[in-house]
Amino acid sequence: GIQVEQSPPDLILQEGANSTLRCNFSDSVNNLQWFHQNPWGQLINLFYIPSGTKQNGRLSATTVATERYSLLYISSSQTTDSGVYFCAVRGNQAGTALIFGKGTTLSVSS
Amino acid sequence: EAQVTQNPRYLITVTGKKLTVTCSQNMNHEYMSWYRQDPGLGLRQIYYSMNVEVTDKGDVPEGYKVSRKEKRNFPLILESPSPNQTSLYFCASSFTGSDTQYFGPGTRLTVL
């Protein structure tokens, strides 16, 4: 099945810093999503981005499908950005699950 | 408001006592699925449904049942829960499965 690797596994930042999270995947996908899991365990949709670039406020994401990677950019980080960021992909076969990476744990201190 | 709801949000139960976790979506989505999240193992799919009366196993279906009698609801049934089913459970839905999947708030289940 598809393999999803995220890096770095852990990231510690001071408030105001910028960061880039990476997601590599091993096969063609028809769905790629970025999620933020907050301290209460909820999975928050950030982006649906199987290809191209999107921006939402301080967050943006780029997926280069031909090279099988996606990047999540966080600018001017805030303490509320802390949590775990997951990349999840779905292969091209109908019915296949979203396959999640192991996540990047982000800690932002003031 | 478009959303996926799950109930209960928290549940502590004992081994062997049947339970149902409900999942409902108000977005007229055809695709629904259940995941469990465990430390070190990440999120894994339990079951999914492409439409009413169409369900199929995911990666970890043992010990679980599902049904899809109506488009909006997709309950997860544990007929005889065991401690290894202690986990954080998520329901998700989307139109086709390859579009944006929306996740419910999660259900923390502890089986003693």
Inform me whether the pLDDT recorded for A9 exceeds 90: yes
Confidence of residue A39 (pLDDT cuts 50, 70, 90): confident
A45 and B98 in contact by Cβ < 8 A?
A: no
pLDDT tens across A51-87, in order? 999 999 999 999 999 999 999 999 999 999 999 999 9
Asked, as a colleague might, if the bond just before B8 is cis with ω within 30 of 0, I would say yes
- In this structure, chain B runs to a length of 112
The proportion of chain B whose per-residue pLDDT surpasses 90, expressed as a percent, equals 92
Distance from CA of A64 to the nearest CA of B (A): 17
Q: Is the pLDDT of residue A32 over 90?
A: yes
Which distant-in-sequence residues (6+ apart) come within 8 Å of B71 by Cβ? B28, B29, B30, B51, B52
Return the pLDDT at A95. Answer: 61
How high is the pLDDT of residue B57? Answer: 94
Residue B29 banded pLDDT, cuts 50, 70, 90: very high
pLDDT in tens, B37-92: 999 888 999 999 999 999 999 999 999 999 999 999 999 999 999 999 999 999 99
pLDDT digits (tens, 9 = 90+) for A87-100: 999 987 756 789 99
Which pLDDT score, from 0 to 100, does residue A71 have? Answer: 98
Give chain B's largest Cα–Cα span.
Answer: 38
Closest Cα to residue A33, out of A83, A80, A79, A72?
A: A72
Contacts of A43 in chain B (CB under 8 A): 90, 103, 106
Q: What is the pLDDT of residue A91?
A: 85
Model pLDDT, residue B112: 97
The pLDDT mean for chain A works out to 94
- Distance of alpha carbon B49 from the chain centroid: 11
| Residues belonging to chain B with any Cβ–Cβ distance to chain A shorter than 8 Å | 33, 35, 42-45, 48, 50, 56, 58-59, 88, 90, 92, 97-103, 105-106, 108
- The rounded percent of chain A whose pLDDT value lies above 90 is 86
Distance from CA of A18 to the nearest CA of B (A): 26
Our CA-based measurement puts residue B85 at a distance from the nearest CA of chain A, in whole angstroms, of 17
